[in-house]
Amino acid sequence: MTRDVTVTLFERLHAHRHLVAEAYHQGAVLRTDDNRKAIEILQQQRVFVPHSPDEYRLHSSLRRFLASAFSSHRILQSSGDIGAIFAHLEKLTDFYIAAFNEDDQAATDSYEDEISQTVFEINDSLQGFITNLQANIETRFAAVTSLAAKKLQNEFYLAATHTLVQVLESFHLSDLLERIQAFPRIETLLRTQLFARIPVFRSTLQTIYETLRQFLFEFRKIEARAKRIQQMWLFLKKTPDYEPRAWDNASDLPAWLERSPGLPIATHPDVSDTACEDTLVELAQSIKADQSPRKRREAGALTAEEVPAKVIVKVPAHVLALRQMLKDAKASEAPVSVRQWRAQRATELELDDTLWLELALDVLAKKTSITKGLEVGYNEHSREGPFSTGNILIKDLSLWKSA
Amino acid sequence: MFDVIAMRLLAGKFLCETTAPEAFRALEEDTMRNDVDAYLRRIGRRLACTAGGHAYYMAFERIGTDERTEVKRLFAEIKHELRPMVNFLKFVMQALRNEEAPSPGERIDYPTILGAVTAHPQLVDELRNFAALGRDFTAADSTPRAMLDKVFGQVVKSGYLVQLDRDREVYAFTGKLDFLLEVIEFLMANEKIVEDAPDDQPNQLRML
């Protein structure tokens, strides 16, 4: 049993996959003692071709396959490729007719095979181009970040799509089908696999073309808008006192100044209108019934109202003492010493003089109604030394009624 | 849908894809637009659309003496918002390292902006400059978060931004931005405001 050469090729590609990958990513691989044998095998399979005396690169057909499988960049060139394949197809058809006329069966079979491969290649390439382009349109060229790059891609695809539409139109209008009418197999293949699909491809490409044109317009608008904001920002920065001219006084107002403010609107249902009845019923039904427990009054009996619980506000003893002291000071003819007052009138308070003085200072600083009409005198400690900390040290406070 | 549209317009609100998508789409229909316009004209108003077509609003049908007071009030509001909004748009472009100006409907991710501010001291300075625009933009403390909160809060209050997702702190620009861009374009064209944008601006952005 003969072994399938395709399987052999794939096995060799698999065995030397790292070398193939390196050649794809690096562009070429350097021949060394370690990879010499592998390169020879791959060269025999037409996977590698010499690049320079010691370097090898991937065969362009394999590189093209890998690029179209992995990357969108390769697709950038495919409109040109597809155009070339169409031209190639026309040539192959001519060769096929010539071989048939010369009665060269082997050549006829070979060209027929190549024509069908080319037809499938055109289909795949067109579908690949469209799919890739649609993905790019969907994401608005998200693969590139800058606006300039997006614009560049958009312009490229616009030109490529336009070229493709033209190629498809001229191919569709060509006399190819008429020329191969005498060869039913080829004619059926081209008609069903290519000519029947061209209108669909053309229509899709036309839609894509229109979208790309719209994008181009939008990209230009975005660019202009960004420029305006940038310019305005710079202008405002340089001109901090800028005020727009009094456009509100212009007889011919700009459209944006004609904007009307909101009107104060208050709505209420017209309960006398029968048309509102259903809506009002609906509203009333949507209000939940009061779920709070209620005591039912027995017939003939009175319901006793519950007496609210008594609340006792407990005022601290020192607050009461302070209030009394202020009251006494207002009533006294002579100034009242704060410390003396505590010593005489609030002996039960468990706090020392320092704290008592602080509490008195605090209540006086608040300047509430109870301190109103009182004057305060500070009995200071004598200051020692030429320097002061800024704090005033007091021994006592005197309170007396304002004049 | 007519009542929703009419009520929003009568309340003086902008109607756009971000704030009222269904109403906005309904207004894209000629019939609805004509109906609304005819309704407003009965009360001396009309339906108007921003230059970019991103928002609808209510406008006066005619400008007489009575309407002039409102025109002056609107112009004062625009003047008040112009500088902070231009600064905000520029700030967003810097923070997102984006050479594209924000457009209506565009989403703004607050954490991304805050991340950029935290990483780049220049942006903190820009944020601090907002305080010079008045008390409305002055934060209680000087942390980037507080300053950014204040600025975002003010832009939301002015109606240019709307919060879409409270948890993830996602905002979106409203159609009112289109109105502002129309004003900017008008002022630049009619007041001969032409400042050459420095050529190295993209580089400056990249350097941030």
Mean pLDDT of chain B: 85
Please spell the DSSP secondary structure of A269-304, one letter per residue.
--TT-GGGHHHHHHHHHHSPPP-S--PPPPTT-PPP
Q: Is the pLDDT of residue B203 over 70?
A: no
Instruction: Give the residue from B150, B156, B113 showing the smallest Cα distance to B131.
Output: B150
Token pair 């027929």 in the structure block, residue: A112
pLDDT band at A338 (very low <50, low <70, confident <90, very high): very high
Inform me whether the pLDDT recorded for A60 exceeds 90: no
Q: Rounded to the nearest 10 degrees, how much is the dihedral formed by the CA atoms of A384, A386, A387, A389?
A: 30
Distance between CA atoms of residues A122 and B114, nearest Å: 51
Total-model pTM: 0.53
* CB-nearest partner of A265 from B10, B86, B93: B10
A161-165, B29-33, B99-103: which range is least confident on average? Answer: B99-103
Q: Rounded mean pLDDT of chain A?
A: 83
pLDDT at A106: 86
Indicate yes or no: CB of A232 within 8 angstroms of CB of B11.
no
Q: How many residues does chain B have?
A: 208
Element (H, E) at B56: strand B55-60
The kind and range of the H/E element at A75 are none
Q: What are the boundaries of each domain within chain A? A: 5-63, 80-229, 317-401
Residue B33: what pLDDT?
92
CA-based nearest residue to B70, from B79, B82, B59: B59
Mutation for testing the B interface, residue in A218, A232, A239 having most B CBs under 10 Å: A232
Give the residue among A179, A64, A210, A200 at the shortest CA–CA distance from A123. Answer: A200
Give mean pLDDT, residues A227-247.
Answer: 88
Identify the band that residue A385 occupies on the pLDDT scale cut at 50, 70 and 90.
low
Q: Quote the CA–CA distance of A296 and A285 in Å, as a whole number.
A: 24
B59 beta partners: A259, B46
The minimum CA-CA distance between A160 and chain B, rounded to whole Å, is 26
The partner residue sitting opposite A244, judged by closest CB among B11, B68, B79, is B79
pLDDT band, residue A390 (cuts 50/70/90): low
Task: Choose the mutation target among A260, A263, A267, A279 for the interface with B, i.e. most B CBs under 10 Å.
Answer: A260
Least confident piece of the model among A2-6, A155-159, B61-65: A2-6
Residue A386 pLDDT: 54
Nearest to B28, CA basis, from B68, B60, B1, B64: B1
3 state DSSP class of A369: coil
pLDDT(B204) > 60? no
pLDDT for B160 beyond 90:
yes
In the chain, the amino acid numbered A52 is S
DSSP of A212-256, one letter per residue?
Answer: HHHHHHHHHHHHHHHHHHHHHHHHHHH-TT-----GGG-SS--GG
Region A59-81: mean pLDDT is: 65
Contacts of A225 in chain B (CB under 8 A): 101, 103, 181
Which of these, A383, A397, A317, A400, lies nearest to A353 by C-alpha position?
A397
Closest-CA residue to B148 (of B185, B174, B110): B110
Which residues on A lie below 8 Å from B105 (Cβ)?
none
Residue among B78, B80, B42 nearest B58 (CA): B42
DSSP three-state, residue A311? coil
Q: Is residue A39 a contact partner of residue A56, using CB atoms and an 8 Å limit?
A: yes
Question: Among all residues of chain B, which has the CA nearest to that of A254?
Answer: B186
User: Which residue from B3, B173, B197 is spatially nearest to A223, judged by alpha carbons?
Assistant: B197
Alpha carbon A46 to its chain's center: 48
How far does A213 lie from chain B, in Å, by closest CA? 18
What pLDDT, on the 0 to 100 scale, is given for residue A107?
A: 85
> How many CA atoms are closer than 13 Å to the CA of B67, on its beta-carbon side?
17
The reply to whether residue B99 touches residue A234, judged by beta carbons under 8 angstroms, is no
8 A C-beta contact, residue B38 and residue B60: no
CB spacing of A231 vs B101 below 8 angstroms: no
Helix, strand, or coil here: A376?
strand
- A262·B11 Cβ contact <8 A: yes
Does residue B9 register a pLDDT over 60? yes
- The top-scoring range by mean pLDDT among A43-57, A148-162, B175-189 is B175-189
Residue (of B153, B160, B191, B53) closest to A232 by Cα position? B191
| Residue type present at position B193 | I
A276, two tokens: 């509102």
With a cut of 60, say whether residue A186 has pLDDT above it: yes
Residue-level pLDDT at A70? 64
Give residue B202's pLDDT: 42
Distance from CA of A65 to the nearest CA of B (A): 36
- Chain B CB contacts of A255 under 8 Å are 48, 51, 59, 182
A316-333 confidence digits (pLDDT tens) = 889 999 999 999 999 988
Grade residue B207 by pLDDT with cuts at 50, 70 and 90: very low
Residues in chain B with CB shorter than 8 Å from the CB of A263 are 10-12, 43
Better-scored residue on pLDDT, A292 or B154:
B154
Spell B13-52 as b/e; 16+ CB within 10 A means b: bbbbbbbbeebbebbeeeebbebbbebbeeeebbbbbbeb
Q: For A80-103, what is the mean pLDDT? A: 83
Average confidence (pLDDT) over A234-254: 87
Residue type, A331: A
A214 contacts on B by Cβ (under 8 Å): none
The predicted model gives A264-288 an average pLDDT of 82
The residues, any chain, with a CB within 8 Å of residue A31's CB and separated by 6 or more, are A39, A54, A55, A56
Specify the pLDDT at position B40.
92
What is the model's pLDDT at position A108? 87
In this structure, the strands spanning A394-401 and A374-380 are antiparallel
Task: Check: CB of residue B55 under 8 Å from CB of residue B178.
Answer: yes
Is residue A72 pLDDT above 60, yes or no? no
Q: What is the tens place of the pLDDT at every residue in B84-139?
A: 999 999 999 888 877 778 888 888 889 988 988 888 888 888 888 888 887 778 87
Q: Which of B108, B111, B113 is nearest to B160 (CA)?
A: B108
pLDDT of residue A80: 61
Could you tell me which residue, B26 or A393, shows the higher pLDDT? Answer: B26
Residues A221, B45: Cα–Cα separation, whole Å: 31
Chain A residue closest in CA terms to B126 = A237
What element of type H or E holds B109? Answer: strand B107-109
Binary contact (A247, B75; C-beta < 8 A): yes
Reply yes or no on whether the pLDDT at B201 is more than 60. Answer: no
Contact between B148 and B117 under an 8 Å Cβ cutoff? The reply is yes
Contacts of B29-38 with CB under 8 Å at 24 or more apart are B32/B1, B32/B2, B32/B5, B35/B2, B36/B2, B36/B5, B36/B6, B36/B9
* Contact between B41 and B61 (Cβ < 8 Å): yes
Chains A, B: CB pairs < 8 Å: 125
A389 pLDDT band, cuts 50/70/90, is low
The verdict on a CB contact (< 8 Å) between A231 and B7 is no
**Does B186 sit within 8 Å of A254, measured CB to CB?**
yes
pLDDT at B199: 46
**Looking at A126-135, B30-39, B152-161, which range is the least confident one?**
A126-135
What is the four-CA torsion angle of B202, B115, A232, B98, rounded to 10 degrees?
A: 40
How many angstroms separate the CA of residue A57 from the nearest CA in chain B?
37
